[in-house]
Structure 1
Amino acid sequence: MSSSGSRAGASLTEPAASMHAHPPSISAARARRWGAFYYAEQVLRVMKGYGWTIVMYGVGQPVAYLFAMGVGLATLVDTNNESVFGGVSYLSFIAPALLISAAVMTAANEFTFPVMDGFKWRRVYYGPHASPLTPEQIAAGHIIAVTLRFLLQSALYFLVVALFGASPSGWGWVTVPVATLAGLSFGLPLMAYAASIKHDKGQFAMVMRFIVMPLFLFSGTFFPLDTLPPGVRWIGWISPIWHGTELGRVFSYGYQESALLTVVHLVFLLGLAAVGWVLTRRQFVKRMGQ
């Protein structure tokens, strides 16, 4: 074989020779450092398979509510009563509430059945756990992926709200992270509960019927909380939807409330999310071990 032929043959094999897997020690070290993001990537890839469902549920549903309540019902509601709606249109009043509610309802789906699927039905958590990924990283990866979904669907919904002129304040975009925080404040304690369930006996259906829907209906979503009967106002006081909605209204159209109450809303949501994260970590470690 000629020298030119030998050089050509060597050049053809060089790219293949340069491709090789990382040693197990390096792969393990990367997994221990970035494991949460690796698992988040896996969850996002699964979500990509039903991406249009996510868009239609996360954005289409609240937009349908926006049309029905903010455009349809608004024609029957006296929007000139400033003492009721703070001097804004009914559309502007309910838009932040629907955005927050959409995030909370998404949390009720993403932090229940997929968690049960990870531990019992398809046991998808145990494959990654056989690698150097820890239970805490798997839980964190799931949360990171769902948080990104909250941000995306809330941003898309806010764009629709802005196109309708239902967010007159220049700070309206802050409702996107507020909705994300509200979703986490409700979803993380629910995730801890889902991780503790070993047998499906309809617990999640009960959560939707007797927790999620009452919170949606009695959290000042469609009318101010103080216009509801006194006997159900306490539901709003403990509801992430109400606290998130009140914050959203402050940023969306300058809803007037005391600075102390605004801080209370924020601390309540952050506190629930933090407690939920601690309980979730504990349950994941308990179910899968160190």
Structure 2
Amino acid sequence: MQGLGKHENTFPNKVVVVVVVVVVVVVVVVVVVVVVVVVVVVVEVGVVVVVVVVVVVVVVVVVVVVVVVVVVVVVVVVVVVVAVVVVVVDVVDVVVDDDDDDVVVVVVVVVVVVVAVEVVVVVVVVVVVVVVVVVVVVVVVVVVVVVVVEVVVVVVVVVVVEVVVVVVVVVVVVVVVVVVVVVVVVVVVVVVVEVVDDDDDDVVVVVVVVVVVVVVVVVVVVVAAVVVVVVVVVVVVVVVVVVVVVVVVVVVVVVVVVVVVSSSSIVVVVVVVVVVVVVVVVVVVVVVVIVVVIVVVVVVIR
């Protein structure tokens, strides 16, 4: 019976070791997934920055071209109008001898120049407004696409990881159950083969009962461990997805606000402060949730 006692004391320890190993493997896998997601986020943010820079450069080039064309057109119009005015004044001077021709020419030229300047200003203002709207729309669209891609990538990776973990755990449980069933069958065969009047029948019965109890305990512990592991994976993945979505949304808000109100330094400073506060709060919440989950897992396993 001492041998049975030793076996009964060490076997649960082995089960706990197996459960701890499974939990460690799951944590490592989740960490790898998080690292991959972070790398993807960094790459996509880089792509977004490049796209925004390219769009801004193209828009600036278009603005310069439009302004140059408008200036050229205005200059041509002014030259033509001045030439026409000079010709008309000369004709009038020939027909009617008027000494105020110079004043008329000056007034006409001033009016033409003022109108031309107003046209240029209006065109430039319209172009700038259109450029700002286009940049804002492009940035918002790109960031929304990034958010969608991030969510899809995270969900797919999480589903794959969870499926792999569950399959591995189920395979381990099946192997353990098969081994235990084989042992029980062997013991039962030994009992059946024994003579009914054998004095060792009680010992054999005790062995069978102990083995069955151990099997039941092992199955319960393994199932509980699987449930705990799946819960941990789901919680961690949900936290990661929430963090990614929050960070991307904050980036969208910052980009839009900075593009729209980039002329106001106070607004930019306020936006930056708000973003920093939001990111800090999110990180603190994530850390607290992960710590609570780890504590719960440890308590359940113990």
Same structural fold, with TM-score higher than 0.5 when normalized by the shorter chain: no
Higher relative contact order (CA 8 A, sep 6+): 2
Larger radius of gyration: 2
**TM-score (normalizing by structure 2):** 0.32
**TM-score (normalizing by structure 1):** 0.33
* Larger fraction in helix: 2
